[in-house]
Amino acid sequence: MICRLGESFLIYSELRRLKECIIITHLYSLALYIQEEEEEHFVRVKDIYIHIFTVRFIMAKIAWGSTHEVTQPDCLRALIGEFICTFLFVFAGVGSSMTSNKLIGDPLLGLFVVAITHALVVAVTISAGLNSSGGHLNPAVTIGLAAGGHITIFRSILYWIDQLLAASLACILLKYLTGGMETPPHTLASGVSPLQGVIWEIILTFSLLYTVYATIVDPKKGSIDGLGPILTGFVVGANILAGGPFSGASMNPARSFGPSLVSGVWTDHWVYWVGPLIGGGLAGFFYENVFINRSHEPLPTHEDF
């Protein structure tokens, strides 16, 4: 009897110890699970904060503006100046293409004439508009400057409308003055796909906006101060010589819009919006955030107007 009680006690002790081990094992597993959950939660929270910081960093550079801007005298003057400069630029640029088609049989010479004309008229019209509107002449330049916080989003939209109207009027007038000649639209060369055209335009417009930032916008431009418009004209001419035979080297949605509107040719027209706007926006955002140390006050947000 005593032996059986001893055996029962031993069995009970073993069962109790086993139960304790199982409980401890479960508690340990639960602790590991809670720790993993906490770590995963921490990672998620950290990622959220990183995303919030990134978005706030980007948005801090952008000034949205307000509809009240349209009533301000400086905005109205800027729109008038931008319209005049864009009109003169497109008139000379498209006019040189029409002259090349009419008088010059050699394609290489014609390309050179168009490139030189654009280089000269860009340099002059930027210089003419620098103090009134900034001399953008180009929606891609406007979006590039907006990406860096140098012009409000609302005013950028007004500039876009202004530039498209100026380009359209210049091409309508050119068609009338030339007795109905076609205003040559930008088109992709044979064998160049729309994707290749977009990449061409992204790279060419990136180089244009990078030059604008480096030679005009950057307060540390140093010895080249004042040469920005001329150097920008040089890069436009060089880009036309490089990309003209392939994508047309537009770099400017307004410059492409005017001839397409008047001629009625819209083939692959979207290429000349997507490429330049991506290239211009990327260049503006990149240069502003990598090379420019802001020592000036940013543009006011919409609450400040």
- Model confidence over 162-193: pLDDT tens digits? 999 999 999 999 999 999 999 999 999 999 99
Residues 121 and 80 placed together within one structural domain of the fold: yes
Mean pLDDT of 278-292: 95
Q: At what angle do helices 2-61 and 271-290 cross, to 10 degrees?
A: 100
Q: pTM of the full predicted structure? A: 0.79
Return d(Cα 91, Cα 295) in angstroms, integer: 38
pLDDT of residue 64: 86
| Residue 271, H or E segment | helix 271-290
Same domain, 117 and 5: no
- Domain around 20: 1-61
Identify the weakest region by mean pLDDT among 28-37, 86-95, 137-146.
28-37
Please list, residue by residue across 243-254, b when 16 or more beta carbons sit within 10 angstroms of its beta carbon and e when fewer do: bbeebbbbbbbb
Share of the chain above pLDDT 70, in %: 76
| pLDDT value for 34 | 60
Question: Which of 18-27, 56-65, 186-195 bottoms out in mean pLDDT, i.e. has the lowest?
Answer: 18-27
Considering the chain, what is the average pLDDT of its residues?
A: 85
Same domain, yes or no, for 137 and 215?
Answer: yes
Q: Which residues contact 66 (CB under 8 A, 6 or more apart)?
A: 152, 154, 302, 305
Same structural domain, 201 and 133: yes
**Rounded (10°) angle between helices 73-103 and 107-129:** 170
The 10 Å Cβ neighbour count of residue 259 is 29
Burial grade of 256 (CB within 10 A; 0-12, 13-18, 19 or more): buried
Residue 228: what are its φ and ψ, rounded to 5°?
-55, -50
> Does residue 200 carry a pLDDT above 50?
yes
Find which of 17-26, 59-68, 105-114, 199-208 is predicted with most confidence, using mean pLDDT. 199-208
Within this chain, do residues 201 and 98 fall inside the same structural domain, yes or no?
yes
Query: What CA–CA distances, in Å, run from 103 to 112, 180, 181?
Result: 13, 16, 13
Task: Name the band, by pLDDT with cuts 50, 70 and 90, for residue 57.
Answer: very low
The per-residue b/e assignment along 182-198, b for 16 or more CB within 10 angstroms, e otherwise, is bbbbbbbeeebeeeebb
**Closest alpha carbon to 127 in 216, 213, 214, 237:** 216
Residue 74 and residue 224: Cα distance in Å, rounded?
Answer: 28
Residue after which a domain boundary falls, among 61, 80, 111: 61
71 shares a domain with 36: no
Do 170 and 209 belong to one domain?
A: yes
Q: What is the pLDDT of residue 237?
A: 98
The residue-averaged pLDDT of 19-45 equals 60
On the question of pLDDT at 297 being above 60, the answer is no
Comparing 57-61, 203-207, 243-247, 259-263, the range with the smallest average pLDDT is 57-61
Instruction: Identify the pLDDT of residue 250.
Output: 97
Answer yes or no: do 258 and 180 share one domain: yes
Q: pLDDT band for position 231 (50/70/90)?
A: very high
Quote the pLDDT of residue 301: 55
Number of domains in the chain: 2
CA distance 258 to 244: 18
Let me know whether 114 and 255 are in one domain.
Answer: yes
pLDDT of residue 55: 45
